[in-house]
Structure 1
Amino acid sequence: MSSHYGQFCPVAKAMELLDERWTLLVVRELMMGSRHFNALRRGVPRMSPALLSKRLQTLVRAGVVERWDDGNRVTYQLTEAGKELEPIVEALGRWGTRWIPELGDEDLDPHLLLWGMHRNVDLEAVPDGRTVIRFLFPDVPAPSRRWWLVISADGVDICDEDPGFPERVGVEGSLRTLIRIWRGDLDWAAALRSGTLTLDGTAQAQRALPRWLKLSPLAGTPRPYAAAG
């Protein structure tokens, strides 16, 4: 745990556990449904495996997370105490959306964007069969420039190499633009009108894409500022 504050205040006691770097983001990933170590890693891609393991151990000892062997895999899940953190994490997310809208270049991560998007695909709106959506971020270095979402009856997969299936629609634009759309700071129509985002594919697929890709659960948070675009 982090250093003791030397206060009996319940806020101080809670923060002795929760204010360590990455801890609440690990809780966020568990809230979003990640149950295994590799899935948790994909939600915090800049966190080292060793540190993730350490934070999980701390949360297990504190009774916030339960760990058990599930066949050949270790499974993690929030306990009752951990689930009581969910409205706190959600409130922090809403507060950050409202009051900290700025995004630095170091905050832009295509992997994290696609990871969030794959969790929020509207499977009922997507056509039956396999649907492949290609993303191209020209402003991102080559190894991370192209991504694909492959949507099928088995779920949604993220690929950073061409999966080899026919593509139903393609999305091209700056990473910042698509992140702003995902966050609810900019709408699809405004991005398309401005030319900062372009789509290719059938007209039907282009029109349907915003329905397929639901936005962040926090996108509807009211802002005290006027969102550009």
Structure 2
Amino acid sequence: MPSQYGQFCPVAKAMELLDERWTLLVVRELMLGSRHFNALRRGVPRMSPALLSKRLQTLAKAGVVERWQEGNRVSYRLTEAGRELEPIVEAVGRWGVRWIPELGDEDLDPHLLLWDMHRNVDTEAVPDGRTVIAFVFPELDPTTRRWWIVVTADGVDVCDVDPGCPPRVTVESSLRTLTRLWRGDLDWAGVLRSGEIVLHGEPQARRALPRWLPLTGLAGTPRPRREAPVPVGPGAGPPE
């Protein structure tokens, strides 16, 4: 790999691989269990297929990812070197939760949110059989307003078209509120009490939903205390 920084420092050498756009997010997806190209794409929906393929090739060449042929399908897994990145990626995530809490409109993506949420469904808590959880984001365009998480004995999936089975519970929320809840900026009790999130459906399912959808592992990251800004300028000193 050609040197980008011209430094012997190990941090510089590592960043020659890791600071390419999307690279750590591809590692994140592999950490979270994505194994096939299409699953990886769903975790980075704004990344082009060509660039994803290029990043996987680069990571494989660097010994971070290994490529496996499984019949007619190709799978990707982290090597020992790749697995050593897991605490680093998690630490970056916790740092981001603590120190970069702001969310712009461009950061909000219903597909990415539901894809992340579906990976955390507690299948042991969900009743046996087929369970559908519907999501409605009233402020979005009709083409992206409704989503579904479907839980069956075969696994959990995300649908952007009606799966044809009545939902046990429907979550009505703004995309921003549900995203902030998922990140841990808000909590279930608070958003339900305030009416920012409204649940429709079977009473038992409404009560159980927070157990079915435990929050992301980063949600419990302690937030720093936000100090009030110190006034400056004429007359800004402490009162006498």
TM-score, length basis structure 2: 0.92
1:72-151 pair list within 5 angstroms: 72-151=72-151
TM-score, length basis structure 1: 0.96
Other structure's SS at 2:47 match: coil
Question: How far 1:68 sits from its partner (Å)?
Answer: 2.1
1:192-211 pair list within 5 angstroms: 192-211=192-211
Which consecutive residues of structure 2, in runs of 5 or more, have no partner in the other structure? Answer: 227-240
Question: How far 1:157 sits from its partner (Å)?
Answer: 1.2
Other structure's SS at 1:142 match: coil
Which consecutive residues of structure 1, in runs of 5 or more, have no partner in the other structure? Answer: none
2:218 is the counterpart of 1:218 = yes
1:44 and 1:155 map into 2 onto residues whose CA distance is: 21
User: In the alignment, which residue of structure 2 is the partner of 1:60?
Assistant: 60
Amino acid at match of 1:210: P
Identity of aligned residues (%): 79
User: In the alignment, which residue of structure 2 is the partner of 1:44?
Assistant: 44
Other structure's SS at 1:209 match: helix
Question: How far 1:32 sits from its partner (Å)?
Answer: 0.5
Q: Which of structure 1's runs of 4+ aligned residues deviate more than 4 A? A: none
Amino acid at match of 2:57: Q
Calculate the aligned-residue CA RMSD, in Å: 1.2
User: In the alignment, which residue of structure 1 is the partner of 2:174?
Assistant: 174
1:29 and 1:79 map into 2 onto residues whose CA distance is: 14
User: In the alignment, which residue of structure 2 is the partner of 1:24?
Assistant: 24
Inter-CA distance 172–152: structure 2 relative to 1 (3 Å threshold): same
* Residues 29-85 of structure 1, C-alpha deviations (whole Å, 9 max, x = no match): 000011100000000000000000000000011010001211111111001111110
Q: Which has the larger radius of gyration?
A: 2
Other structure's SS at 2:150 match: strand
* Residues 1-53 of structure 1, C-alpha deviations (whole Å, 9 max, x = no match): 68610000000000000000000000000000111000000000000000000
Amino acid at match of 1:126: V
2:65 and 2:34 map into 1 onto residues whose CA distance is: 12
- Across the two proteins, how many residue pairs are aligned to each other? 226
2:195 and 2:123 map into 1 onto residues whose CA distance is: 28
Amino acid at match of 2:138: P
2:176 and 2:225 map into 1 onto residues whose CA distance is: 18
User: In the alignment, which residue of structure 2 is the partner of 1:15?
Assistant: 15
1:54 and 1:13 map into 2 onto residues whose CA distance is: 20
Contact 1:113 1:179 in 2 (8 A): yes
1:146 and 1:39 map into 2 onto residues whose CA distance is: 21
Question: How far 1:126 sits from its partner (Å)?
Answer: 0.7
2:8 and 2:193 map into 1 onto residues whose CA distance is: 56
1:216 and 1:112 map into 2 onto residues whose CA distance is: 13
1:21 and 1:2 map into 2 onto residues whose CA distance is: 17
User: In the alignment, which residue of structure 2 is the partner of 1:190?
Assistant: 190
Other structure's SS at 1:143 match: coil
